[in-house]
């Protein structure tokens, strides 16, 4: 195999697959990091919201709803769910002293319940929705699956859209202000309770959207959130807890490391490399790559 062949048939597809996974992880990590940056809550049920999104897409597709409509419908349906979770589980314990531990445990419990409910309703079997965009395209002699290309584009658009709202609009200024100093923001007229609930629900909606988008690639099963959330947590820690750009950069970098490492060493080593990076960051640079939402 020549160097060009290697580039064309091994390296490039691997980079693109890594990119698709990277975008997927970023979508999940984005909700996680926004919720943390805003509410200081580590949402342990985030992976299960991702699973709910995937199952909702599956069920609605079976009922005849088309994929394109699902991309809008599922996140919109997830928002009231997120609002309810925030109102019923987070807000009641938000004022307490040990709310970090309490919210972590409460959301962890919620995640376990959701897993079981999904199992009861849909069964434990793995299901795989058909690829919404079949086929592949050739670019520069590299053959790439269409759906993965689509995922990369949609993911990039979502990340840019979220960043635009957060960093360029008055609503985003309200969100950053409330994330930094709740009381001061409120005293200027920011409806902080609503902003908190809205942020949580928005993060949940993003997880649901990720579920819809990723189901055709990574399959659907009740514990699907678990594997994914580990990687997402790593991304959030490396990028900086509560940092949007941190999640993006760390998500893309770590998945590339994973993808490329598996070309040169046994794939069993990719997890130790990724999670080793996380541990190294926790020890040597616990604040992560980038600063937290609302902080300079």
Partner 1 sequence: MLQISALHSHYGLSHVIQGIDIEAAPGEVIGIFGRNGVGKTTLLKTIAGWVKPSQGAIRLGGEALDGLTPDRICHAGVGFVPEDRRIFPGLTVEENLSLGLLQVKGRSSRDEKRVVEGIYDRFHRLGERRHQLGTTLSGGEQQMLAMARVMVGKPRLVLIDEPSEGLAPMIVAEIFAIVRELREQGAIILLVEQNIHEALSVADRFHVVERGQIVFSGEAENAGDRERLLKLIAV
Query: Which CB sits closer to partner 1, 20 or 192?
Result: 192
In the chain the beta strands, taken as DSSP E runs, fall at 136-139, 142-145
Residue with tokens 């514990």: 223
Least separation in angstroms between residue 186's CB and partner 1 is 4
Residue 57 interacting with partner 1 (CB under 8 A): no
Q: Which residues of 248-257 are buried (b: 16+ CB within 10 A; e: fewer)?
A: bbbbbbbbbe
Least separation in angstroms between residue 208's CB and partner 1 is 28
Given candidates 91, 99, 226, 295, which one binds partner 1 under the rule CB under 8 A? 295
Residue 4, SS3 per DSSP: helix
- Looking at residue 127, the DSSP 8-state letter turns out to be B
Least separation in angstroms between residue 293's CB and partner 1 is 8
Residues 167-226, interacting with partner 1 (CB under 8 A): 170, 173-174, 176-177, 180-181, 183-193
Query: Which CB sits closer to partner 1, 85 or 174?
Result: 174
Q: How far apart are the first and last CA of the chain?
A: 50
Handedness of CA 207, 174, 196, 246 (dihedral sign): positive
The count of chain residues that interact with partner 1, using the rule CB under 8 A, is 23
> What is the rounded CA–CA span in Å between residue 168 and residue 162?
10
> What is the rounded CA–CA span in Å between residue 37 and residue 236?
10
Query: Which CB sits closer to partner 1, 184 or 282?
Result: 184
Whether 59 and 74 have beta carbons less than 8 Å apart is answered as: no
Least separation in angstroms between residue 170's CB and partner 1 is 6
Residues 134-173, interacting with partner 1 (CB under 8 A): 170, 173
x/- map, 274-293, partner 1, by CB under 8 A: -----------------x-x
Q: Residue 64 burial (CB < 10 Å; 0-12/13-18/19+)?
A: exposed
Least separation in angstroms between residue 103's CB and partner 1 is 21
Least separation in angstroms between residue 284's CB and partner 1 is 24
Query: Which CB sits closer to partner 1, 20 or 185?
Result: 185
128: tokens are 């795989």
96: tokens are 């307490």
Q: What is the CA radius of gyration of the chain?
A: 19
Query: Which CB sits closer to partner 1, 216 or 294?
Result: 294
Query: Which CB sits closer to partner 1, 186 or 260?
Result: 186
Where do contacts with partner 1 occur on this chain (CB under 8 A)?
170, 173-174, 176-177, 180-181, 183-193, 291, 293-296
């Amino acid at each position: 195999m020549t160097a060009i062949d290697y580039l064309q048939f091994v390296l490039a597809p691997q980079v693109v697959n890594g990119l698709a996974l990277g975008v997927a992880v970023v979508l999940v990590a984005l909700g996680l990091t926004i919720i943390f940056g805003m509410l200081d809550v580590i949402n342990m049920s985030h992976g299960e919201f991702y699973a709910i999104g995937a199952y909702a897409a599956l069920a609605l597709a079976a009922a005849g709803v088309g994929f394109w409509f699902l991309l809008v419908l599922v996140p919109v349906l997830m928002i009231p769910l997120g609002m309810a979770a925030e109102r019923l589980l987070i807000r009641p314990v938000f004022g307490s002293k040990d709310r970090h531990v309490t919210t972590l445990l409460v959301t962890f419990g919620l995640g376990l319940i959701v897993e079981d409910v999904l199992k009861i309703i849909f069964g434990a079997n793995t299901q795989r929705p058909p690829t919404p965009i079949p086929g592949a395209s050739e670019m520069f002699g590299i053959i790439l699956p269409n759906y993965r290309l689509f995922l990369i584009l949609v993911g990039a658009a979502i990340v840019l859209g979220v960043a635009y709202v957060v960093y360029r609009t008055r609503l985003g200024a309200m969100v950053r202000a409330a994330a930094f100093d709740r009381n001061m923001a409120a005293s200027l007229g920011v409806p902080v309770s609503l902003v908190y609930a809205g942020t949580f629900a928005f993060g949940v909606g993003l997880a649901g959207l990720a579920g819809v988008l990723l189901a055709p690639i990574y399959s659907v099963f009740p514990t699907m959130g678990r594997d994914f959330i580990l990687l997402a947590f790593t991304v959030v820690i490396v990028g900086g807890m509560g940092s949007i750009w941190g999640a993006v950069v760390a998500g893309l970098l770590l998945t590339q490391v994973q993808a490329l490492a598996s070309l040169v060493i046994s794939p069993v080593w990719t997890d130790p490399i990724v999670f080793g990076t996380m541990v190294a960051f926790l020890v040597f640079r616990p604040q992560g790559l980038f600063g937290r939402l609302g902080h300079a």
